[in-house]
Structure 1
Amino acid sequence: MADALLSASLQVLFYRLASAELINFIRAQKLSHELLTNFKRKLLVVHKALNDAEMKQFSDPLVKDWLVQVKDVVYHAEDLLDEIATDALRSQIEAADSQDSGTHQVWNWKKVSAWVKAPFASQSMESRVKGLISLLENIAQEKVELGLKEGEGEKLSPRSPSTSLVDESFVYGRNEIKEEMVKWLLSDKENATGNNIDVISIMGMGGSGKTTLAQLLYNHDRVKQHFHLKAWVCVSTEFFLIEEVTKSFLKEIGSETKSDDTLNLLQLKLKESVGNKKFLLVLDDVWDMKSLDWDGLRIPLLAAAEGSKIVVTSRSETAAKIMRAIRSHHLGTLSPEDSWSLFTKLAFPNGDSSAYPQLETIGREIVDKCQGLPLAVKALGSLLDSKADKREWEDILNSKTWHSQTDHEILPSFRLSYQHLSPPVKRCFAYCSIFAKDHEFDKKKLILLWMAEGLLHAGQRDERMEEVGESCFNELVAKSFFQKSITKESCFVIHDLIHDLAQHISGEFCVQLEQYKVQKITEMTRHFRYSNSDDDRMVVFQKFEAVGEAKHLRTFLDEKKYPYFGFYTLSKRVLQNILPKFKSLRVLSLCAYKITEVPDSIHNLTQLCYLDSWISPQHRFKDYLNQYVVYAICKQ
């Protein structure tokens, strides 16, 4: 996962290092282009070993530390390029000032120039690049010592192939949706596409029970009697392989195939086998599908009898859209009651918790942490089976999910989902670890945060950053990383276990303050989030002071909304002594605090692109802010 995140960051970094704008600026400033070329070569050497390191980090803590070092260098390189971009903008502003004689226009540009007034020293840039090259050389040497190999390395294995068999005694809370979908399967008049085949999709996050629901449908007595032919095909590969799917379908319905059969022969056999017969086909665990793949499977099946059905399970909406599903069901989580019933059946002898009152109390807390995800409930229930020691149950309750003994069951499920995200979306998702669990976030605000952090890039296409952000957000929704909030219709939430995944990816680069307890903060910390409370007037300075070690901080985020009774006044010590130190700050959220006086040292925050705070309308900072928004848009 670190590899996937780093690869996404490095792709953007390589693109920026090769950009015409950077090269032209280097030439104009008479800087060493060879130095940046050498830096890029060093990055490439490290990049080649990321795949191997990603797989080994879970068994070797030294490899994990190595990946953290690489990420830290990438952050420093991004900061450097952002500072160069700022200086390039300053040069453009000065050129515009000298050419434009219009008084009003010059005044506007001078206001913007006030924020980027300090020229970027070429000597500073060259010395910093040399420092990064030295770090990369050490990292490359450690790569050899750790035995990391270049190339593809190991890949995360897909989950084990599913079958149509199911133990219904371990299924809870799906009766209503099961009966509804059975009716759809048994209906021969549902078709709205004009073809003989109806497609029904079951979508949801990993571990939500999609396969189990499909198994229940497949084995239902009335469904068995309704269809002439039935086939269960577990796709479960990165790409939808039409030849393999067709062969599996033929084998399931008793039609023989040969190893040297061409796709044409396979399709002819399939058309003949299903001719004038009503079939049910389950395509389980479809990850990726293209229109041509669907046509390749669909066309031979048109010879089937009316009322034929295909049930597809997927973590993404893409397959359902391509297959033009007439019915799509987003599978939600289990209710607390159903989750507890499933847990007790697995964790307690004979499924009876009444004889273990102490364990029952702990068990209910464990189940609450699973947030209705069947996979997590099953994994933890099975783990605690036949264990009557209270301390063992407390260890599971207090451990972080991703570092517990259930890694082999829960973590790979979400790692697979993460691997199938596009590279830019991986970075955007990892950033979401800054939110607290159960935090309800607004789509537009999150996209603005992504923009301010420089996570969105249009690439070769002429797109607005908001459009790029919307595309990333929609992908995370479509693949079940984000879910609609139940309490606020316009907001979204992240399941706790998905949030754990984001934190696992971000590691020590993202730190949170919870109930005045701050996680370990180091120079590597880049993102900091806290929640204000009623007695913040007394502790706000300590909060800011606590992150003083994070010299390269990019995010200082206040998560709570404005208090009902008004704003707090921000301490002068924060504005004068702490904030100006964070020269790499991109996001500053002080939404519960009122700023009545802004020191001149605020100009040090030349990378700031997102400010959320109440500023006195009478204060001159309002003029700076209006012009600074122009600068931020130009930079993005």
Structure 2
Amino acid sequence: MASATAVAIGGSFLAAFLQVLFDRMASREVLGFFKERKLNDRLLRRLKVLMIAVNGVLDDAEEKQIAKPAVEMWVNELKDAVYEADDLLDEISYEALRSEVEGGSQSSADQVRGFLCARFSFQRVKEEMETKLGEIVEMLEYLVQQKNALGLREGAVEKASSQRIPTTSLVDESGVYGRNEDKEAIMKLVRSANENGKRLDVIPIVGMAGVGKTTLAQLVYNDSRVGEQFDMKVWICVSEEFDVLKVIKDILKKVGSMNCDTMTGDDLHCELEKESTGKKIMLVLDDVWRKWDFLLTPFKSLAHGSKILVTTRIESVASVRATVSAHRLQELTADDCWRVFAKHAFDDGSCSARPDLEETDLEEQRVGFAE
């Protein structure tokens, strides 16, 4: 069951999956089963506390696993522990419901016989479940201990978000290196027919902080081929907490509807739907940190071929309504890193003005810089 669940929800929805487990641990069936069978409820409480502890650092782990294999391994081990807990709670819920159904359908004599036959199996089931639960708790305790060593912090994503300077669609292409292939890969998706005949395609760009997601989106947004393809282009920097009404107002202002500040939520949705109906739109949502699919409601009448390009560090955000696989932006090569460094370090963008620098020293610095 764990592997099937992993395929279905993926690591991106681990936080949401944990919330489901929190609800199940507090359910009548599970709590009643622990009380009836006299299971160690301290283990259940410990399980909940540990899950809360790992849940608090999931956003930070999800971002850091892109660049840190040790964090990726931690996330994978957490998935295993969570799926084991899910399996056990499934088993407990099933046993609780089965006992309830069988108990209600039997006569008094049958219930007595059933009790006599089952009294020894109850102890066996109790021991097996407590053993499984203890193993899961032990796995989670180890992972909680490791989170500090890996530098995983609660609220780290939100803190970084609040310090981000809002982006714009403008880009100095002369200072961009090593992104031609990435740009053309995104351009191919932007210019292609929408998947399965849908009106709107959602194209995610995912990568660690500072890797160049915004720059890549800017390169695509400013390409003349995009300007020719769409009736309307809109760039929105999200960054802070996703206030959907503020985002809708920003979009409306970009398309010329300036009297939207006093509109209510319903009025804003209607106005955006009116302004976008029948139009082929290219919308960029840059630096998204939260689920944003509720923004799609006013876009139900767009012209076919419309696109939304989303940049994010968070896998779960990238998966929201995505119609194509996320483009995972990797770090620049050593040569491209050196070109970026040289452009900012030397007046002419190269080291030709510094003959006093030995070539071997430069090579050592280039490699060290890339590392």
Q: TM-score range by the shorter chain?
A: 0.5 to 0.7
Q: Is the 8 A contact 1:353 1:360 kept in 2?
A: no
Tell me: CA distance 1:206–1:361, structure 2 relative to 1, closer, same or farther (3 Å): farther
Per-residue CA deviations over 1:471-507 (Å, capped at 9, x if unaligned) read xxxxxxxxxxxxxxxxxxxxxxxxx7xxxxxxxxxxx
- Relative contact order (alpha carbons < 8 A, sep ≥ 6): 1 or 2 greater? 2
- Which of residues 255, 264, 270 is equivalent to 2:266? 264
Gap change, CA 1:364 and 1:205, over 3 Å in 2: farther
Give the drift of 1:219.
0.2
Give the equivalent residue in structure 2 for 1:558. none
User: 1:216 is matched with which residue?
Assistant: 219
Q: Which amino acid aligns with 2:367?
A: D
Q: Does 1:190 align with 2:207?
A: no
Contact 2:338 2:369 in 1 (8 A): no
Contact in 1 for aligned 2:194/2:200 (Cα 8 Å):
no
Deviation of 1:323 after TM superposition, in Å, equals 2.3
1:535-574 superposed matches below 5 A: none
Q: Contact 1:191–1:307 at 8 Å: present in 2 too?
A: no
Contact 2:260 2:268 (C-alpha < 8 Å) held by counterparts: no
| CA deviation map 1:278-320 (0-9, x unaligned) | 000000000121xxx41x3112112110000000000011112
- 1:190 Cα deviation (Å)? 2.9
Query: 1:111-126 counterparts in 2 under 5 A?
Result: none
- Find the counterpart in structure 1 of residue 53 from structure 2: none
Number of corresponding residues: 216
What are structure 2's unaligned runs of at least 5 residues? Answer: 1-39, 44-158
Could you say which residue in structure 1 is the equivalent of 2:233?
230
Shift of 1:324: 2.3
Amino acid at match of 1:216: L
C-alpha contact (below 8 Å) 1:199/1:311 kept by paired residues: yes
Q: 1:364 Cα shift?
A: 4.4
Contact 1:199-1:326 within 8 A present in 2 as well: yes
Which residue identity does 1:306 align to in structure 2? H
Instruction: Tell me the distance in 2 between the aligned counterparts of 1:269 and 1:174.
Output: 37
Aligned-pair distance for 1:20? 8.2
1:168 alignment partner in structure 2? 173
Query: 1:348–1:338: structure 2 CA closer, same or farther, 3 Å change rule?
Result: same
**What is the match of residue 400 of structure 1?**
none
Alignment equivalent of 1:335, drawn from 326, 329, 333: 333
| Percent of paired sites with the same residue | 44
Q: Which has the higher helix share?
A: 2
Corresponding position of 1:318? 316
Question: CA distance change for structure 1 residues 199 and 351 in 2, over 3 Å: closer, same or farther?
Answer: same
Equivalents in 2 of 1:246, 1:366: separation in Å? 47
Pair 178,255 (structure 1): closer, same or farther in 2 beyond 3 Å: same
Give 1:356 shift.
2.2
> Which of 181, 193, 205 in structure 2 is aligned with 1:202?
205
Give the C-alpha shift of residue 345 in structure 1.
1.4
Q: Report the 3-state secondary structure (helix = DSSP H, G, I; strand = E; otherwise coil) of the residue aligned with 1:309.
A: strand
Provide the rounded CA distance (Å) in 1 between the counterparts of 2:287 and 2:189: 21
**Pairwise CA RMSD:** 2.4
Deviations 1:161-209 (A, max 9, x none): 000000000001111121221122112x2323x5310011111000100
**Contact preservation (8 Å) 1:247, 1:257:** no
Partner of 2:134: none
Which of 143, 155, 164 is equivalent to 1:159?
A: 164
- Whole-angstrom distance in 2 between the partners of 1:365 and 1:179: 32
Q: Note the 1:512-551 alignment, pairs <5 A.
A: none
- Work out the CA distance in 2 between the residues paired with 1:365 and 1:204: 28
Is the 1:202–1:313 Cα contact (8 Å) retained in structure 2? yes
Name the residue aligned to 1:181.
Answer: 186
Q: CA 1:241–1:363 in structure 2 vs 1: closer, same or farther (change >3 Å)? A: farther
Counterparts in 2 of 1:359 and 1:164: CA distance versus 1, 3 Å: farther
**Are the counterparts in 1 of residues 168 and 235 from structure 2 also a CA contact under 8 Å?**
yes
Gaps of 5+ in 1: 1-18, 23-154, 372-495, 497-636
> Is the 2:169–2:221 contact (alpha carbons within 8 Å) kept by the matching residues of 1?
yes
Does the CA-based 8 Å contact 1:354-1:360 persist in structure 2?
no
Q: What does residue range 578-593 of structure 1 map to in structure 2 within 5 Å?
A: none
Q: Work out the CA distance in 1 between the residues paired with 2:335 and 2:223.
A: 25
User: Which residue pairs with 1:487 in the alignment?
Assistant: none
Supply the distance in 2 between the matched residues of 1:359 and 1:225 (Cα, whole angstroms): 49
CA 1:334–1:299 in 2, change beyond 3 Å: closer, same or farther?
same
CA shift in 2, pair 1:258/1:340, >3 Å: same
Distance 2:325 2:227 in 1: 20
- Residue 230 (structure 1) shift: 0.5
CA contact (8 A) 1:246 1:270 kept: yes
Instruction: Give the aligned partner of residue 284 of structure 1.
Output: 286
Match of 1:244 in 2: 246
Identify the residue that residue 367 of structure 2 maps to in structure 1.
368
